[in-house]
Chain A
Amino acid sequence: MDAHDLLELIWIIPALPAAGAVVLLLFGRRLGEPTAGWLATALMALAFVGSVVAFVALLGLDEEERAVVSQGYTWIEAGGFAVDLRFLVDPLSVTMILFVTGVGTLIHLYSIGYMHGDARFSRFFAYLNLFAASMLVLVLGNSFLVTFLGWEGVGLCSYLLISFWFERNTAAVAGKKAFITNRVGDFGFMLAMFLIFEKLGTLDYAALGDGAQAARGSATAIALLLFVGAVGKSAQLPLHVWLPDAMEGPTPVSALIHAATMVTAGVFLVARAHVFFEMSDAAATTVAWVGVITALFAATVALVQNDIKRVLAYSTISQLGYMFLALGVGAYGAALFHMVTHAFFKALLFLAAGSVIHGLHDEQDMRRMGGLRRYMPITGAVFVVGWLSIAGVFPFSGFWSKDEILAKVWFDGQYALWVLGTVTAFLTAFYMTRQLRLVFAEPARWRDGSTPPLVVSGGADDEPLAEAVPAHHAGAAGEPHESPWTMTLPLAALALLAATGGFLNLPFADEGFELLTEWLHPVFADVEEIHPTSFLAGTLLSLVALAIALTGIAAARALYRRGLEPDGTDPGVRRLGAAAPVLEHAYYLDDALAAGVAGPGRRAAAVLADDVDARGVDGAVNGVAAGFRVLSSGLRRIQTGYVRNYALGLVFGTVVLLAWFGTRGMW
């Protein structure tokens, strides 16, 4: 069996979790806990093994041949429009499935511990598996429409999982918000597909080679519309509002969907359709600027958040901004490199945060944490790895990937973007250090009840996040405790990946260490690479980045030396003064959107419901009914019940008929 035959079987990889979802939805309750979780995890592990096999098989092919389209069948056929359901196996999709299934398996395993005791345990794993299947379809699709199929699937699963604890109103609202905000982006994606079909006559990725030149005239429009889709899915400005609220979902969901995989779908889409962005400078510049502004914006907001998961949510938005910055300057390899390392360290940080929440019995406010290093040694240790990685400290993975992005931006001559990106790097190091200090360093604040009331700001409504958590693991509020091995094992594995992930793509091209870039080269062969002007310049940039990161860490350490101020206020918030509430509310963008879009929308709906529907439509229906009531109350008097009246009517009618026919001469 040669590599091509083997890659024909690529459909098995998404089919495994899909089958798991079906089985768990039908028989999950009977399988119960923990069998349902183990089944889901085993299927994901198998999918990962399959992905590794696909990777090896693809490696066995010559570099030019590394784009295998599997046989499929015609999914939709209408006139000249035909879409085949086929899978494309190339370095880009294999990279994606490797980390989706790899990180996915670890998070599935973690969820067995985290979701212990939940009433809908098996349902959770059914959704997780369904998500994995959709995500795999998304990245493996051979055409925009197949990708869109997965795109909608992950959106649905995101909705289902954010509002998994739908008994909580905030969770239900957050799920809807995510779904509807994503819909705005999906609209852009669809319009882009229409345009592509109009110009190229097909939606297959195979047409994106030289043939795509036919769409040169519309390249800017197509690229920007695709980018609208990416902005929605990847939570960039101004459609980022759903991601912080999405933290209402269980923490493994935040790690898998809202940090590692689904939110990177936008990055994947831009990378997949890079040909349009290469043709349009305007679109590429837009991508870079939206990315860097989002990165900076979210990093500043993360400085003052108090919810442990919200900090990470804004951090995710910020890091995704980096990826779009890289895409915008044409450094696709760097963007995907950061995507992979970010998947490692952000999944790690989220899962560690989940472990903290678990250990503290559903406490999410960092102001009521502290000193956890002693009680949760493993969680603390892995969090440190994640922290060093995201802050960009040598030699952890985040250092390499973030440095590569900033270096590419610099060597592309985009110095303004570079400055903003570097400021963001400083802020990243700062807020992550703040989080580390508040959660793990002394003093412990979870014992005394003197902390301020927990109010989560910037959300759809200011309700405490941690309130009314379903009793999925209600324990007596006592000492914090370390999590079970099903949770710590994935943490350890992810910590290892976060620490060493940088070696996937060391910036020494001449020595052949740029493994990921080399591997992805066939996909981006048409892209002009950005080369460092000199090795010295590259090294200097790295040193600058490292210095920035260390400065950020040092600054935060100094400021949060003793945790919070004695009176419970945040020293950072105190320094920021009047700016702090603005940051806390994420520049009031959420409220502005609510007022500017939801407000008029609600008023329009009220007019439609009260005036148009209740008065207009209902009035017409009721009016017709009332008219017939009047008519029939008159007509019913004819029905006297007297036989003679009826007989008279018959005779009269007969006479009239006879007269009619007689006068018309129709005998």
Chain B
Amino acid sequence: MEITPSYYLVLAAMLFTIGAVGLLVRRNTLVMFMCVELMLNAANLTFVTFAKALDDIGGQVIVFFTLVVAAAEVAVGLAIIVAIFRRRQGVTADDIHALEG
């Protein structure tokens, strides 16, 4: 059985959906954060797939950038979550709605 780009794309779509649904249904900030990462990497997978299929190095280069930016974002995001955890017991997202209009 030949592994065509479609397999990778379907996998990426599944990963993205799991991430998106997870973001919507989970209340734990840490899990939501992981869901975001899942979606991000689903997108990365798509990039790599197309780079290979279209024989264009650009897609892979973008993935490198995305990874670096994601790493920085994780550092900041985790720091925020830790800071919230210190102030209040637990990191349930619904408890944090001070910015409502």
Which A residues are closer than 8 A to B by beta carbons? 635-644, 647-648, 651
B20 touches A640 (CB 8 A): no
Beta-carbon nearest neighbor of B98 in chain A:
A641
Check B24 against A647 for contact (C-beta < 8 Å): yes
Contact with A along B1-24 (1 / 0, CB 8 A): 000000000000000000010011
Could you say which of B24, B32, B93, B101 contacts A639, with CB atoms under 8 Å apart? B101
Contacts A636-B101, A639-B99, A639-B100 known; A651 to B93 CB distance under 8 Å?
Answer: no
Give the docked Cα–Cα distance between A635 and B94 (Å). Answer: 21
Is there an interface contact between A641 and B100, defined as CB atoms closer than 8 Å? yes
Dominant secondary structure at the A interface = helix
* Interface set, chain B 84-101, CB cutoff 8 A to A: 93-94, 96-101
Q: Is the CB of A642 within 8 A of B97?
A: yes
**How many angstroms from the CA of A643 to the CA of B95 in the assembled complex?**
10
Q: Closest 3 interchain pairs by CB?
A: A639-B101, A641-B97, A641-B100
A642: B residues at CB distance < 8 A: 93-94, 97, 100
Would A640 and B97 count as touching, CB distance under 8 A? yes
A644 in contact with B101 given A651-B20, A651-B24 (CB within 8 Å): no
B88 to chain A, nearest CB (A): 15
Residues of B near A651 (CB, < 8 A) are: 20, 24
Residues of A within 8 A of B96 (CB): 641, 643
In the assembled complex, the Cα of A126 lies from the Cα of B28 at a distance in Å of 80
- CB closest residue in chain B, given A639: B101
User: Could you tell me the distance between the alpha carbons of A420 and B67 in the complex, rounded to whole angstroms?
Assistant: 107
Whether B93 pairs with A643 at a CB distance below 8 angstroms is: yes
Residues in chain B near residue A635, CB distance under 8 A:
101
In the bound complex, CA of A282 to CA of B63 (Å): 96
Shortest A650–chain B CB gap in Å is 9
Query: From residue A638, how far is it (CB to closest CB) to chain B in Å?
Result: 7
Contacts of A647 in B (CB 8 A): 20, 23-24
A635 and B97 alpha carbons, distance in the complex (Å): 17
B24–A644 contact, CB under 8 A? Answer: yes
* Residue among A637, A638, A640 facing the most chain B CB atoms (10 A cut-off): A640
Task: Give A651 Cβ to nearest chain B Cβ, in Å.
Answer: 6
A residues less than 8 Å from B100 (CB atoms) = 639-642
Residue of A nearest to B17 (CB): A651
Instruction: Enumerate chain B residues within 8 angstroms of A639, measured Cβ to Cβ.
Output: 99-101
B residues less than 8 Å from A644 (CB atoms): 23-24, 27, 93-94
CA distance A643 to B97 in the complex (A): 8
Query: A629: shortest Cβ distance to chain B, in Å?
Result: 14
CB neighbours (8 Å) of B27 from chain A are: 644
Whole-angstrom distance between the alpha carbons of A637 and B100 in the complex? 8
Not counting A635-B101, A647-B24, a sample of 10 additional A-B residue pairs whose C-beta atoms are within 8 angstroms of each other reads A637-B101, A640-B100, A640-B101, A641-B98, A642-B94, A643-B93, A643-B96, A644-B93, A644-B94, A647-B23
Closest to A643 in B: B93
Task: Name the distance in Å between B46's Cβ and chain A's nearest Cβ.
Answer: 14
CB distance from A184 to the nearest CB of B (A): 59
Name which residue of chain B comes closest to A644, CB basis. B24
Contact B97 A638 (CB under 8 A): no
Residues of A close to B99: CB separation below 8 A: 639, 641
Q: How far is the CA of A198 from the CA of B94 in the complex (A)?
A: 80
- Which A residues lie within 8 Å of B101 (CB)? 635-641
Provide the bound-state CA to CA distance between A238 and B33, in Å.
88
CA distance A637 to B97 in the complex (A): 13
**B98: A residues at CB distance < 8 A:** 641
Whole-angstrom distance between the Cβ of A602 and the nearest chain B Cβ:
49
A-B contact pairs, 11 of them (CB 8 A): A636-B101, A639-B100, A640-B97, A641-B99, A642-B93, A643-B32, A643-B93, A643-B96, A644-B93, A647-B20, A651-B20
Query: B43 → chain A, closest Cβ, in Å?
Result: 12
Contacts of A643 on B, CB cut-off 8 Å? 32, 93, 96
Cα separation A480 to B100 with both chains bound (whole Å)? 83
Nearest CB in chain A to that of B93: its residue: A643
| Chain A minimum-CB-distance residue to B27 | A644
Contacts of B20 in A (CB 8 A): 647, 651
From residue B28, how far is it (CB to closest CB) to chain A in Å?
Answer: 11
Bound CA span A643–B28, Å: 11
Nearest residue in A to B26 (C-beta to C-beta)? A644
Enumerate chain B residues within 8 angstroms of A641, measured Cβ to Cβ. 96-101
Residues of A within 8 A of B24 (CB): 644, 647-648, 651
Task: Looking at the assembled complex, report how far the CB atom of A662 sits from the nearest CB atom of chain B, in whole angstroms.
Answer: 14
> In the complex the two chains form, what is the Cα distance from A636 to B99 in whole Å?
11
How far apart are A657's CB and chain B's nearest CB, in angstroms? Answer: 14
Distance of B80 from chain A, by nearest CB (Å): 12
Residue of B nearest to A654 (CB): B20
Give the chain A neighbours of B93 by CB distance below 8 A. Answer: 642-644
CB distance from B27 to the nearest CB of A (A): 8
B48-101 residues at the A interface, CB under 8 angstroms: 93-94, 96-101
- Smallest distance from the beta carbon of B75 to chain A beta carbons, Å? 20
Once bound together, how far apart are the Cα atoms of A637 and B20, in whole Å? Answer: 24
Residues of B within 8 A of A640 (CB): 97, 100-101
Interchain CA distance A639-B23 in the complex, whole Å: 18
Distance of B10 from chain A, by nearest CB (Å): 17
List residues of chain B with CB within 8 A of the CB of A648.
24
In the complex, what distance in Å separates the CA atom of A571 from the CA atom of B71? 109
The interface residues of chain A lying within 8 Å CB-to-CB of B32 are 643
Task: Looking at the assembled complex, report how far the CB atom of A216 sits from the nearest CB atom of chain B, in whole angstroms.
Answer: 77
A651 to B101, CA, bound (A): 21
Nearest B residue to A632 by beta-carbon distance? B101
Specify the chain A residue showing the minimal Cβ separation from B32. Answer: A643
Docked complex Cα distance between A647 and B93 (Å): 12
Kindly provide the distance from the CB of B38 to the nearest chain A CB, expressed in whole angstroms. Answer: 13
With both chains docked as a complex, state the minimum distance between the C-beta of A508 and any C-beta of chain B, in angstroms: 99
Report Cα–Cα, A651/B35, bound state, in Å: 14
Cα-based distance from A636 to B24 in the complex (angstroms): 22
With CB as the reference atom, state the residue of chain A lying closest to B100: A641
Most buried by B among A639, A642, A651: A642
CB distance from B13 to the nearest CB of A (A): 12
Q: B23 contacts which chain A residues (CB < 8 A)?
A: 644, 647
B39 to chain A, nearest CB (A): 10
Q: How far, in whole Å, are A312 and B99 apart by their CA atoms in the complex?
A: 79
Instruction: Name which of B23, B32, B93, B101 has the most chain A CB atoms within 10 A of its CB.
Output: B101
Give CA–CA (A630, B49) in the complex, Å.
Answer: 51
Distance A7 CA – B86 CA, assembled complex (angstroms): 92
CA distance A637 to B93 in the complex (A): 19
A651 to B96 alpha-carbon distance, docked (Å): 21
Interface string of B32-44 (1 = CB under 8 A from A): 1000000000000
Specify the chain A residue showing the minimal Cβ separation from B36: A647
